[in-house]
Amino acid sequence: MIRIGGATGYWGEADLALPQFLAEGDLDFIVFDYLAEITMSIMARAKAADPEKGYATDFVSAIVAPHLQAIADSGVKLISNAGGVNPEACGRAIRQLIEEAGLSLQVAVITGDDLMPKLDQVLASEPAEMFTGEPTPPREAIASANAYLGAFPIAEALNQGADIVVTGRCVDSAVTLGACIHRFGWHRDDLDLLAAGSLAGHLIECGPQATGGNYTDWHEVADSLHEVGYPIAEIAADGSVVMTKPQDTGGCVTVGTVGEQLLYEIGDPAAYYLPDVICDFTQVSLEQIDTDRVAVTGAQGRGVPPQYKTSMTWADGWRAGMIGFYVGARAAEKARLFADEAIQRARRKLSKMGALDYVDVCVEVVGDESHWGEAARYVRSREVAVKVACRHADRRATDLLMRELAGVGLGAPAGFCAFAGTRPKSSPVIRLFSILVDRDLADIHIHTADRAQSFDDFRAIAAEMADSAEGGVRGDSAADLEPAVATNAGTELVEVPLERLAWARSGDKGDKANIGVMARKREFFPWIAAALTASYVASRFEHFMAGPEMDRYVLPGLPALNFVLHHALGGGGVASLRNDPQAKGYAQILLDTPVSLPAQLLED
């Protein structure tokens, strides 16, 4: 058995984890995940300005530097994708710290994910976006192109004696799976084991989201979140996993916290594609075996993809936005008039200059019932926040609307308030473009202090194994989901909010949103499934979605449902003008759903 701590979930996260893990004292590995799609584009711009930048600098300055001696004394190994678009520079910075400290820790750097040098080959077939079918963006606008590498190069670096492994873009869970492959000697055809290790990685890749962060039952940990414990996965050679956290830390580890993280940002749970294995999580089960200890079993492997998913980021104009507040009677109406007044002035000036209209303008009045759609049950507020944002190919046009918003105040309806400060500035719109590329385009190398070794990633049997991958189970066609007693005469039904019956968490992948809903008790599940039909969920979010496309999946093992809403985020990431471009609040909206079930089930 090995113990792996998950220390970060994004670039800029608080640095609480490493001191906790070092104090715990018996971890074998600590893994760090820094990279989101937008992070890669930020790093690409940093490297363009300075050849020694383009990586997560705080991994070096805030993690390694102040704790280097303790890391060496503990014997724990660090695995991180902090390398971003410049992993070799990150490795050099760490080696310099080690040399200055007089230590003998070995650093390995993995490269090959960066496909910008081969961009012509990548674009030769004019690939369409793998989710939306959009055409290839202009070559000159592309800022980064990175293949999601897998875990086997990480395992090989550890096999060669590395104490610290730095990668560029790899799939988030690979930093954990690589440690498992190294320690247990798992092979490429051990698909169920690879799926189990990948699931463990998925559970700890977002740090405290598995230990009470973003938890439906946040009130249960409200007093201790300021010292929330970061997750530890105890993984056995047979693929069984126990989730826990360091002693004497805040938060909690429960079936609910772990189940929510399992459902977070997944698509088809029967075909969760990773570079090393196609995972099936539909039969995964969770068991509370002790306080802050949850056993995880049941992951299965269905094949190996023959290609790498590759994410490109590209510049698509500019955006700008501001937030103000309106108070008093009819606050929402006044807020909309304020926004409309500034937008009309800006558009009139653009027209006079012969300029194009805005690509998109977004006005959101937060606190008004319309923000929640037709299903909202909230009274009209006397205090609202108004957010106005726009996109345009020309920065001067986005700056223009910000000037009009700042200049309309004295001629607007009464009650406008704003936090004093400078006028908002325009920023680049960086869009995501995902494609599949052949594995031989990634020229993978493992770099140590004195040599670079080529690593031939698995290709030979990938294609034939991919044929075994199975599609997901569509919830609406599963007959056993409908409650058998729903129409029985004499059954006393009560209506309660979904939150009493289930945990839920939502997230994003590009312009898609996912909402995972897990029953608190198995007996509740048929009633939840009967209420949360695909058509009902689509209706709750139709004011967010650009089209009707939505998928509903079932995970009988938990039991849970997963909903994937397409074109639901206004472009997603920084391409979106919305207040919630990553769907973090979507689960909170759905948890308000009324669900009918027998009163006896609640009493039991």
In the block, residue with structure tokens 């991958």: 469
Q: Is 85 within a domain?
A: yes
The pLDDT score that the predictor gives to residue 574 is: 82
List of residues 6+ apart from 353 with CB closer than 8 A: none
What are the pLDDT digits (tens) for 23-59?
Answer: 999 999 999 999 987 788 889 889 988 999 999 999 9
Residue closest to 545 by CA, chosen among 599, 589, 600: 589
**CA 198/CA 172 separation, integer angstroms:** 9
The helix or strand, by DSSP H or E, that contains position 366, with its residue range, turns out to be strand 360-366
* Predicted pLDDT of residue 372: 59
SS3 571: coil
Q: Are residues 260 and 408 in the same domain?
A: no
Q: Are 518 and 502 in contact (CB under 8 A)?
A: yes
Instruction: Look at residue 233 and tell me whether its pLDDT is greater than 90.
Output: yes
Same domain, 74 and 205: yes
Question: Taking all residues of the chain, what is their mean pLDDT, rounded to a whole number?
Answer: 91
Higher pLDDT: 48 or 92? It is 92
Q: How far is CA 315 from the centre of its chain?
A: 21
Burial grade of 601 (CB within 10 A; 0-12, 13-18, 19 or more): middle
Q: Is residue 428 part of a domain?
A: no
Mean pLDDT computed over 179-198: 97
pLDDT at 420: 78
Write down the pLDDT at residue 374: 55
Same domain assignment for residues 75 and 11: yes
Number of domains comprising the chain: 3
Nearest to 235 by CA among 190, 193, 282, 175: 193
**Domain span at residue 453?**
2-115+146-267+440-460
Specify whether 484 is located in the same domain as 445: no
Lowest mean pLDDT among 353-357, 465-469, 535-539, 587-591: 465-469
* Angle formed at CA 464 by CA 460 and CA 467, multiple of 5 degrees: 150
Out of 33-47, 338-352, 480-494, 496-510, pick the least confident: 480-494
pLDDT in tens, 532-567: 999 999 999 998 888 888 999 999 999 999 999 999
User: Distance (Å, rounded) from C-alpha 573 to C-alpha 571?
Assistant: 7
Q: Is 587 inside any structural domain?
A: yes
362-405: pLDDT as tens digits: 999 988 765 556 554 455 688 999 999 999 999 999 999 999 99
Position 44 scores a pLDDT of: 87
Q: Is the pLDDT of residue 490 over 70?
A: no
The answer to whether position 495 is within a domain reads: yes
Q: b/e per residue, 577-600, with b = 16+ CB within 10 A?
A: bbbbbbbeebbbbbbebebebbee
Are residues 454 and 511 located together in one domain of the fold?
A: no
CA distance 332 to 365: 7
Residue 291 is predicted with a pLDDT of 98
Q: Do the domain assignments include residue 133?
A: no
Mean pLDDT, residues 323-333 taken together: 94
Judge whether 134 lies within some domain.
Answer: no
Q: Are 89 and 200 contained in the same domain?
A: yes
Whether residue 481 lies inside any domain: the answer is yes
pLDDT of residue 491: 77
Q: Where are the beta strands (DSSP E) in 112-231?
A: 142-147, 164-167
State the pLDDT at residue 463.
Answer: 45
**What is the average pLDDT across 92-113?**
97
Q: Are residues 18 and 152 in the same domain?
A: yes
Instruction: Name the band, by pLDDT with cuts 50, 70 and 90, for residue 131.
Output: confident
Assess contact for 281 and 555: CB atoms under 8 A: yes
- Integer Cα distance of 444 and 166 in angstroms: 13
Are 36 and 156 part of one and the same domain? yes
Q: In this predicted model, what pLDDT tens digit does every residue of 140-171 receive, in sequence order?
A: 999 899 999 999 999 999 999 999 999 999 99
Percent share of the chain, pLDDT over 70? 93
pLDDT in tens, 444-485: 999 999 899 999 886 544 444 544 444 444 444 443 444 444
Asked if residue 397 and residue 342 are part of one domain, the reply reads yes
pLDDT on residue 391: 97
One domain, residues 100 and 154: yes
Based on the fold, state whether residues 485 and 555 are members of the same structural domain.
yes
Within this chain, do residues 111 and 247 fall inside the same structural domain, yes or no?
Answer: yes
**Residue 150 falls inside a structural domain:** yes
